[in-house]
Amino acid sequence: METRKIKTPLTEEIIRSLHAGDMVLLSGEIYTARDVAHRRLYESLLKGEKLPIDLTQAVIFYAAPTPRPPKKVIGSIGPTTSYRMDSFTPKLIEAGLRAMIGKGNRSPEVVEAIKTNNAVYFGAIGGIAALMSQCVKKVEMVAYEDLGPEAIRKLTVKDFPLLVVNDFQGNDLYLSTQNNWRI
């Protein structure tokens, strides 16, 4: 299988060209956000407040970096389990979010929101957080600094290795792979 190189911002054309199972190397800007940051984004949407990031241009990575070692841009940074954000994600997708990065499967509600709104969910490989940090070229604090490692940060990445798990058509890499092995 060929690995595709894609860049942010992800246009609708790019998203519609991605299919469950595709391997990609993502370059450009992505944002980190985990549980509490998602809750704050969600609550801000409910209140009609301006968000600290433009969801229509954002790729959100469910991750929080470890402390930055000397002479490094960032500490280890690997994906967290995505279902922890699932109660907030459909609303964020409806508000314009088109791409997420994490690990593990998504709820039926998130998959339906991905399908309805032409979005994509990428899986990052768990267990290689130190290697993934080498793809991060720049880090900038964006919002919710009080959350420490779980604050929203903008990362500039180069050739960040990912798999398309859920594509805009609602296809699911995990389900299709499981079905291939059923007797």
Radius of gyration for the chain, computed over Cα atoms and rounded to the nearest angstrom: 16
Give the per-residue pLDDT at 160: 96
Q: Indicate which residues carry an active-site annotation.
A: 38
Token pair for residue 147?
């959350």
For 2-33, what is each residue's pLDDT tens digit?
Answer: 899 999 999 999 999 999 999 999 999 999 99
Angle (nearest 5°) at CA 58 between 31 and 169: 120
Token pair for residue 91?
């609303």
Mean of the per-residue pLDDT values for the chain? Answer: 93
Give the per-residue pLDDT at 2: 82
Asked if residue 182 has pLDDT above 70, the reply is no
Please answer whether residues 125 and 135 qualify as being in contact, where contact means their C-beta atoms are separated by less than 8 angstroms. no
> In this predicted structure, which of 1-5, 41-45, 101-105 has the lowest mean pLDDT?
1-5
Confidence at 128, pLDDT banded by 50, 70, 90: confident
pTM of the predicted model, to two decimals? Answer: 0.94
For 46-99, what is each residue's pLDDT tens digit?
Answer: 999 999 999 999 999 999 999 889 999 999 999 999 999 999 999 999 999 999
Give the per-residue pLDDT at 125: 83
Q: Please state, in angstroms and rounded to a whole number, the distance separating the CA atoms of residues 86 and 109.
A: 8
**Three-class SS of the chain:** CCEEEEECCCCHHHHHHCCCCCEEEEEEEEEECCHHHHHHHHHHHHHCCCCCCCHHHCEEECCCCCCCCCCCCCCCCCCCEHHHHCCCHHHHHHCCCCEEEEECCCCHHHHHHHHHCCCEEEECCCCCHHHHHCCEEEEEEEECHHHHHHCEEEEEEEEEEEEEEECCCCCEHHHHHHHHHCC
Q: Please state, in angstroms and rounded to a whole number, the distance separating the CA atoms of residues 171 and 16.
A: 12
Q: Please state, in angstroms and rounded to a whole number, the distance separating the CA atoms of residues 168 and 1.
A: 20
Architecture of 3-181 per CATH? Answer: Alpha-Beta Barrel (3.20)
Give the per-residue pLDDT at 144: 98
Asked if residue 178 has pLDDT above 60, the reply is no
Give the per-residue pLDDT at 103: 94
Q: How far apart are the first and last CA of the chain?
A: 25
